[in-house]
């Protein structure tokens, strides 16, 4: 029975959708790799009583689509890196396209060479696994009112490359594709919302491994948009693959680009595990994304991109370097780096390093991957 005050404050359909989403998400467990999953009690039947005139079928359909999308995202983030290569992650995106009718395009290593995606290729250089760039597209049946492009970081496992992470920093790095997983999850639910705008989701997928062929500190990479980047730290790899993805997105002049990435540990240190950092180059775009996140119940904190910090990215041998010259402000400097690849296109960057996982069960979040970002992306679409 939905409380009358709740139904009145937010609308009965919204309250119904939120209630069903919460029940479905709270019952999620990741046990696909357990030989003998533990038995647990679960809901078998739920009766919901709503006011007359409520389109409960539509609300239930949306709730199931959103919960399913978040569950998919959680599954992907929870899956070990050894069970989810870039090729396998791309295959999951293809499955989503086949199930929902989305258009899909997958670029392999040879295509990435042709398309001049030097950031992707540089990060992948130490790996025995192929990289993949995946593009999912929703096109409305009628005239499109605009285009929104989501870009996700998909580092399926991050060792740090030759700048090898210590054990404590590496053991959780299967989660480093959380941005790409959120994009795939959101795209899976787009069809259920039937928006009259074109939605594109690009995922930049590879692992980051040390080997004799790996990119070395001091190497220079050629990014898709023509800029060159001196790699001073191979563990700052997410921004390199995003540089190619953002460059491609900007070439198409969409109305909005939103990227999601578990980009910096500095953001987790600054904001903790409950908030994602938000940065961008356009106040209207930032306001839209903040409003969408508030409606979705996902917490963002607006951080600046100070022009004074840009000089930290100056390189003696290339157009820019991939890390700042100082110890501080790492999240902001990373955002300034990404800004180099979007031109004047309205763009928002979400650093989801904190809320991509939770260390203990809370509300609708079991321990592990949260599926953070999916709801915000869908609210951006719904309110465009």
**Catalytic residue check, 239:** yes
What span, in angstroms and rounded, lies between the C-alpha atoms of 236 and 264? 8
Q: Which pair of structure tokens corresponds to residue 272?
A: 């903790």
What span, in angstroms and rounded, lies between the C-alpha atoms of 205 and 182? 13
- pLDDT digit string, tens, across residues 235-293: 999 999 999 999 999 999 999 999 999 999 999 999 999 999 999 999 999 999 999 99
Question: Which residues fall within 8 angstroms of residue 227, CB to CB, at 6 or more apart?
Answer: 243, 319, 320, 340, 341
- pLDDT digit string, tens, across residues 320-362: 999 999 889 999 999 999 999 999 999 999 999 999 999 887 7
Question: Which residues fall within 8 angstroms of residue 23, CB to CB, at 6 or more apart?
Answer: 43, 46
What span, in angstroms and rounded, lies between the C-alpha atoms of 201 and 89? 14
CB 68 within 8 A of CB 188: yes
- pLDDT digit string, tens, across residues 17-42: 888 888 888 878 888 888 876 766 66
CB 347 within 8 A of CB 280: yes
Report the candidate in 33, 134, 129 with the shortest Cα–Cα distance to residue 75.
33
Q: Which pair of structure tokens corresponds to residue 58?
A: 């539509």
Residue 5: the pLDDT is 52
Indicate which residue of 79, 132, 239, 288 is catalytic. Answer: 239
Place of tokens 């025995």: 128
Residue 158: the pLDDT is 99
- pLDDT digit string, tens, across residues 87-132: 999 999 999 999 999 999 999 999 999 999 999 999 999 999 999 9
What span, in angstroms and rounded, lies between the C-alpha atoms of 120 and 205? 8
Q: Which pair of structure tokens corresponds to residue 270?
A: 């600054």
For the cut 60, the answer to whether the pLDDT of residue 169 exceeds it is yes
What span, in angstroms and rounded, lies between the C-alpha atoms of 317 and 294? 43
- pLDDT bracket for residue 9 (50, 70, 90): low
Indicate which residue of 165, 216, 310, 367 is catalytic. Answer: 165
Residue 10: the pLDDT is 67
Domains and CATH numbers, the chain: 81-382 (3.40.630.10)
Residue 26: the pLDDT is 80
Q: Which pair of structure tokens corresponds to residue 27?
A: 């019952």
- pLDDT bracket for residue 6 (50, 70, 90): low
- pLDDT digit string, tens, across residues 61-91: 888 999 999 999 999 999 999 999 999 999 9
User: Rounded to 10 degrees, what is the CA torsion of 181, 241, 105, 209?
Assistant: -80
For the cut 60, the answer to whether the pLDDT of residue 3 exceeds it is no
Place of tokens 């402000």: 329
Average pLDDT of the chain to the nearest whole number: 93
CA-atom Rg of the chain in angstroms? 20
What span, in angstroms and rounded, lies between the C-alpha atoms of 353 and 153? 11
Q: Beta-carbon neighbour count of residue 200 at 10 Å?
A: 23
**Catalytic residue check, 165:** yes
Residue 28: the pLDDT is 83
Three-state secondary structure of 239-285: HHHHHHHHHHHHHCCCCEEEEEECCCHHHHHHHCCCCEEEEECCHHH
What's the helix, strand, coil split of the chain in %, to 5?
A: 40, 20, 40
Q: What is the full DSSP assignment across 104-165?
A: EEEE-HHHHHHTT-HHHHHHHTT-SSPPEEEEEEE--SS----EEEEEEEEEEEE--TTSPP
């Amino acid at each position: 029975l939905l409380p009358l005050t709740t139904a009145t404050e937010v609308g009965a359909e919204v309250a119904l959708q939120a209630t069903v989403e919460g029940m479905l998400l709270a019952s999620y467990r990741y046990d696909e790799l357990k030989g003998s999953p533990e038995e647990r009690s679960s809901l078998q039947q739920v009766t919901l009583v709503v006011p007359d005139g409520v389109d409960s079928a539509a609300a239930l359909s949306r709730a199931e689509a959103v919960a399913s999308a978040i569950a998919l995202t959680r599954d992907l983030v929870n899956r070990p890196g050894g069970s989810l290569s870039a090729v396998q992650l791309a295959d999951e995106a293809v499955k989503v396209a086949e199930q929902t009718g989305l258009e899909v395009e997958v670029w392999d290593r040879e295509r990435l060479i042709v398309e001049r995606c030097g950031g992707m290729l540089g990060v992948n250089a130490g790996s025995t696994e192929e990289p993949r760039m995946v593009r999912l597209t929703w096109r409305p049946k009628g005239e499109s009112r605009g285009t929104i492009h989501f870009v996700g970081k998909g580092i399926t496992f991050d060792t740090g490359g030759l700048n090898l992470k210590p054990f404590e920093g590496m053991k959780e790095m299967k989660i480093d594709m959380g941005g790409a997983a959120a994009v795939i999850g959101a795209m899976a639910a787009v069809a259920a919302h039937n928006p009259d705008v074109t939605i594109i989701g690009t995922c930049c997928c590879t692992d980051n491994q040390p080997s004799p062929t790996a990119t070395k500190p001091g190497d220079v990479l050629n990014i898709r948009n023509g800029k060159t980047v001196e790699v001073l730290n191979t563990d700052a790899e997410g921004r390199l693959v995003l540089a190619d993805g953002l460059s491609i997105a900007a070439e198409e002049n969409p109305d909005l680009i939103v990227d999601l990435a578990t980009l910096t540990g500095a953001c987790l240190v600054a904001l903790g595990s409950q908030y994602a950092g938000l940065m961008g180059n356009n106040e209207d775009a930032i306001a839209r994304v903040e409003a969408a996140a508030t409606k979705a119940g996902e917490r963002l904190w607006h951080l600046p991109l100070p022009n004074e910090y840009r000089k930290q990215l100056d390189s003696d041998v290339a157009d820019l370097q991939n890390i700042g010259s100082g110890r501080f402000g790492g999240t902001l400097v990373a955002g300034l780096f990404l800004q180099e690849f979007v031109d004047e296109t309205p763009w928002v960057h979400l650093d989801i390093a904190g809320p991509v996982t939770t260390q203990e069960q809370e509300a609708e979040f079991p321990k592990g991957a949260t599926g953070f970002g999916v709801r915000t992306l869908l609210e951006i679409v719904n309110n465009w």
